[in-house]
C-alpha cells in the first residue's frame, strides 16, 4: 500500500501531465481550424484545373505517341514515392498509419526499386532507420505551407521522371475526411493519369468550342507541370489538416485519461486518509478505555 | 448581363464578383473580355489584370496562369495574384534591385528565370503605384 505522501505526489504529477496535454490539445485545435480553411481555400483551384485538363485532353486529338512527356507510360523499372508525414510526433496513429501504407507499397506492391522523397521528419527518420533509399528530403515546411514550398518537390519529381531516372512517381499522404477520420491514401503522380472517362464525357457534353491561345498542345504543356504541383500542394494541405486533427483527438484522449486517473487516485487517497483517522480514533479510544479500567 | 469573374490561386480565392470588363495579360498580348465573349482558353503571362466595374478599376498583379471564358464566366487560375493593397512595396523594390543587379553581373542563374523575377517585381510595383496615385488624386465620388 503506497503511503499518503506517495499518492499525493502521484496525483500532482498526473495533473501536470493533464495540463500539458490540454495545452497541446488547444494548440492543435486552433492549428487544425487554420489548416482546414487552407484546404477549403485551395479546393476551387484544383477542381478547376482538373476541369480544364479534361477539356484540353478532349480537344487535343490523341495522335502519335504521348502528347506530353509527363503523360508518357513506360514499363516501371524504378519508382519514386513522395511520403508525407509530420515533423512532430504525439499525433496518435497519424504517422504510423501513413508510414505503414508507404512501407507496404515499397515492400510488396511496387514491384520495382523505390526511392523515397520524404516530406516530414517522422517519415524520413523511419525510412532512414530501416535502410530505405531516401533520395531527397523536404521536411520542416512549417504549418502554413505556400505553393512556393512545394515547387522544389514538383521540380524534383518532374526532372527525375522526364530524365528517365524513374518511370513512375507515387504520392502517399493522409486524406482529411473530418476531425475524427483521416485516411492514408496513395495516388499516382506521374505519369499523369489522363482524366477519367466520366470527366471526358462531361467535357464532351459541355461541347464547348473554345478558342485556344496559344494552341491546345502548348496550353497542355503549360498546364501539366502546374497540375503536378497543385496535386502535391493539395495533398500537403490535407496532410497538415489531418495531422492537427489527429493530434487534437490524441491529446483530448490523453487529457481525459489523466483526469480519470486523478479521480481514481483521489478516491484511493481519501480512503487511505479516512482509514488513518479511524485507526487513530480507535487507538485513542482504546487508550482512554485502558486508563479508565 | 455582366461578367462573373473569379480569380483563384492555389492558396485562396483572390477576387470574386460581377464585373463589366476584364483586361488580361495573355501570352499573345493583352486581351479585353467583355460580356458575350466567345469561349476562350488562354495562357496568361506575368502582368496586370485590370478589372472594370462601373467607374471603378481594380488592378491585380498576376504572376502567370490560365484564363477560361465561358458563358460570361471568367475564371483566372493564377500562379500568384495580389491586390494593390496587399503588395509589399519595399519587398518588391528590393526584388527589383536584386534582379537588376544579377542581370548586370551576368549571374549563373537561368536568364529566363531572372527575367521573370524582374518582370514580377515590376508588375507588382506598377500595380501598387496605381493604387497610390488614385488615393493621392481626386477622391472618387
ipTM entry: 0.72
pLDDT digits (tens, 9 = 90+) for B95-136: 888 888 877 777 666 777 777 888 888 888 888 877 655 544
Contact B9 A147 (CB under 8 A): yes
| Residue among B5, B6, B11 with most chain A CBs within 10 A, to mutate | B11
Which grid cell sits at A28?
Answer: 492543435
Parts of chain B with a pLDDT under 50: 135-141
Contact A44 B6 (CB under 8 A): yes
* Cβ A181 vs Cβ A26: under 8 Å: no
| Residue A133, SS3 per DSSP | strand
Name A80's bridge partners. Answer: A115, A169
Sequence-ordered list of residues with C-beta below 8 angstroms from that of A9, at least 6 positions apart, any chain? none
* pLDDT tops 90 at residue A263: yes
Instruction: Check residue B1 and give its pLDDT.
Output: 63
Q: What is the full DSSP assignment across B83-110?
A: EGGG--HHHHHHHHHHHHHHHHHT-SS-
Kindly identify which residue of chain B lies nearest to residue A35, measuring between CA atoms: B11
Alpha carbons A66 and A194: distance in angstroms, whole number: 11
Per CATH, the number for B3-84 is 2.60.15.10
Instruction: Check residue A64 and give its pLDDT.
Output: 45
pLDDT digits (tens, 9 = 90+) for A61-94: 655 445 678 888 888 999 999 999 999 989 989 9
Contact A55 B41 (CB under 8 A): yes
Instruction: Check residue B140 and give its pLDDT.
Output: 44
Q: Which residues of B touch A56 (CB under 8 A)?
A: 41
Instruction: Check residue A74 and give its pLDDT.
Output: 85
Q: What is the pTM of this model?
A: 0.83
Which grid cell sits at A69?
Answer: 512527356
Helix, strand, coil % in chain A, rounded to nearest 5: 65, 15, 25
> Could you say which of 3.40.50.720, 3.30.470.20, 3.40.630.30, 3.40.1380.10 is the CATH number of the domain covering A30-246?
3.40.1380.10
* pLDDT tops 60 at residue A270: yes
Contact B39 A229 (CB under 8 A): no
Instruction: Check residue A66 and give its pLDDT.
Output: 57
Q: With bands split at pLDDT 50, 70 and 90, how would you rate the model's confidence at A144?
A: confident
Instruction: Check residue B97 and give its pLDDT.
Output: 85
The domains of chain A are located at: 4-22+250-292, 30-246
The answer to whether domain A4-22+250-292 and domain A30-246 are alike in fold is no
Instruction: Check residue B109 and give its pLDDT.
Output: 66
pLDDT digits (tens, 9 = 90+) for A222-243: 888 889 999 999 999 999 999 9
Looking at CATH, the fold of the domain delimited by A4-22+250-292 is given as: Helix Hairpins (1.10.287)
Q: Which residues of B touch A44 (CB under 8 A)?
A: 6, 8, 13
Amino acid at each position: 500500500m503506497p503511503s499518503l505522501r506517495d499518492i499525493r505526489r502521484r496525483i500532482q504529477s498526473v495533473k501536470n501531465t493533464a495540463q500539458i496535454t490540454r495545452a497541446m490539445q488547444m494548440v492543435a485545435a486552433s492549428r487544425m481550424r487554420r489548416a482546414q480553411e487552407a484546404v477549403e481555400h485551395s479546393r476551387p483551384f484544383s477542381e478547376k484545373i482538373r476541369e480544364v485538363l479534361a477539356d484540353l485532353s478532349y480537344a487535343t486529338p490523341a495522335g502519335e505517341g504521348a502528347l506530353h512527356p509527363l503523360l508518357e507510360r513506360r514499363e516501371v523499372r524504378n519508382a519514386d514515392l513522395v511520403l508525407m508525414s509530420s515533423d512532430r510526433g504525439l499525433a496518435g496513429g497519424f504517422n504510423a498509419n501513413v508510414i505503414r501504407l508507404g512501407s507496404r507499397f515499397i515492400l510488396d506492391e511496387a514491384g520495382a526499386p523505390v526511392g523515397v522523397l520524404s516530406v516530414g521528419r517522422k517519415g524520413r527518420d523511419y525510412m532512414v532507420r530501416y535502410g530505405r533509399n531516401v533520395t531527397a528530403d523536404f521536411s520542416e515546411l512549417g504549418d502554413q505551407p505556400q505553393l512556393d514550398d512545394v515547387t522544389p518537390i514538383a521540380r524534383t519529381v518532374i526532372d527525375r521522371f522526364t530524365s528517365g531516372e524513374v518511370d513512375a512517381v507515387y504520392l502517399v499522404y493522409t486524406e482529411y475526411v473530418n476531425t475524427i477520420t483521416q485516411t492514408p491514401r496513395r495516388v499516382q503522380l506521374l505519369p499523369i493519369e489522363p482524366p477519367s472517362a466520366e470527366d471526358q464525357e462531361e467535357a464532351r457534353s459541355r461541347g464547348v468550342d473554345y478558342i485556344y491561345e496559344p494552341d491546345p498542345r502548348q496550353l497542355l504543356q503549360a498546364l501539366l507541370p502546374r497540375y503536378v504541383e497543385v496535386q502535391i500542394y493539395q495533398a500537403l494541405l490535407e496532410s497538415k489538416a489531418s495531422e492537427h486533427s489527429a493530434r487534437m483527438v490524441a491529446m483530448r484522449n490523453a487529457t481525459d485519461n489523466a483526469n480519470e486517473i486523478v479521480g481514481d487516485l483521489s478516491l484511493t487517497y481519501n480512503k487511505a486518509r479516512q482509514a488513518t483517522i479511524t485507526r487513530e480514533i480507535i487507538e485513542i479510544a482504546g487508550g482512554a478505555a485502558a486508563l479508565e479500567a | 448581363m455582366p461578367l462573373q469573374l473569379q480569380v483563384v490561386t492555389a492558396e485562396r480565392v483572390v477576387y470574386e464578383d460581377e464585373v463589366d470588363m476584364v483586361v488580361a495579360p495573355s501570352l499573345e498580348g493583352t486581351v479585353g473580355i467583355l460580356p458575350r465573349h466567345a469561349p476562350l482558353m488562354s495562357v496568361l503571362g506575368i502582368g496586370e489584370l485590370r478589372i472594370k466595374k462601373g467607374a471603378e478599376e481594380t488592378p491585380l498583379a498576376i504572376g502567370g496562369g490560365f484564363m477560361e471564358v465561358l458563358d460570361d464566366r471568367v475564371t483566372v487560375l493564377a500562379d500568384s495574384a495580389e491586390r494593390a493593397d496587399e503588395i509589399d512595396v519595399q519587398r518588391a523594390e528590393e526584388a527589383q534591385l536584386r534582379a537588376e543587379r544579377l542581370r548586370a553581373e551576368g549571374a549563373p542563374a537561368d536568364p529566363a528565370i531572372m527575367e521573370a523575377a524582374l518582370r514580377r517585381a515590376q508588375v507588382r510595383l506598377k500595380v501598387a503605384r496605381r493604387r497610390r496615385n488614385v488615393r493621392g488624386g481626386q477622391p472618387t465620388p
